[in-house]
Amino acid sequence: MTPPMDPGKGEDAEAPAAPSAVSLCPPPATLTTLQKRADFLRAASARRQGTGGFLLQARARGDDSPAIRVGFTASKKIGNAVLRNRAKRRLRALVREVLPPLARAGWDYVLVARPEATVTRDFADLKRDLATALASVHRDTARDAKP
């Protein structure tokens, strides 16, 4: 048995207009993700700033590229795959909200998840942690640049 055709449905009906996908906070064009292990290792040997929710590693690349590169790490100490993925998702959301106005061009940043803390810590606290860590890393840079 075929259901009766309602007006506006069927072969001759027009498709509804698709809602436009508008992001609330689009990432800037200069924000890219670290992909190579060597980049993560270079960042690990540079500046570090620990916070309650994660560890921030940062380094100035020394090239003329205006790109800001970001990497995320969540080891098996965080927990199973579900918890590791949740930690990385939270760190990515954190970077999209906080990093663009505070980051410096030509820098690499790596956020390392901490067991328990990254997944359970309040997001507002994570945002404060990142802003504080960035200020600390860049304050140390300004101090080192002075003779």
Give the whole-angstrom CA distance, residue 137 versus residue 58: 7
Question: Is 93 within a domain?
Answer: yes
Q: Is residue 25 part of a domain?
A: no
In a domain, 80, yes or no: yes
The answer to whether residue 3 is domain-embedded is no
Is 78 among the domain residues? yes
**Residue 56 located in a structural domain:** yes
Q: What is the DSSP string of 15-60?
A: PPPPPP---SSPPPTTEEE---HHHHHHHHTSEEEE-SSEEEEEEE
Which tokens is 14 given? Answer: 């027009």
Instruction: Give the model's pLDDT for residue 121.
Output: 94
Alpha helices in 54-122 (DSSP H): 81-102, 117-120
In the chain, which residue ranges form alpha helices assigned H by DSSP? Answer: 37-44, 81-102, 117-120, 123-145
> Does residue 73 belong to any structural domain of this protein?
yes
Determine how many CB atoms are found less than 10 A away from the CB of residue 51: 21
Q: What CATH number does the domain containing 99 carry?
A: 3.30.230.10
Task: Measure the CA angle with vertex 104, ends 103 and 108; round to 5°.
Answer: 85
Six token digits for residue 24: 């609330």
> Angle 37-102-112 (CA atoms, 0-180°, nearest 5)?
35
What is the CA 84 to chain-centroid distance, rounded?
Answer: 14
**Structure confidence at residue 146 (pLDDT):** 52
User: Residue 49 is part of which domain span?
Assistant: 31-141
Q: What is the pLDDT of residue 139?
A: 86
Counting the structural domains of the chain, the total is 1
pLDDT recorded at residue 63: 86
pLDDT per residue, tens digit, the chain (147 aa), is 666 665 555 565 565 565 555 555 545 457 889 999 999 999 999 999 999 999 999 999 988 888 899 999 999 999 999 999 999 999 999 999 999 999 998 999 999 999 999 999 999 999 999 999 999 999 866 555 555
- How big is the chain, counted in residues? 147
Does residue 100 form part of some domain? yes
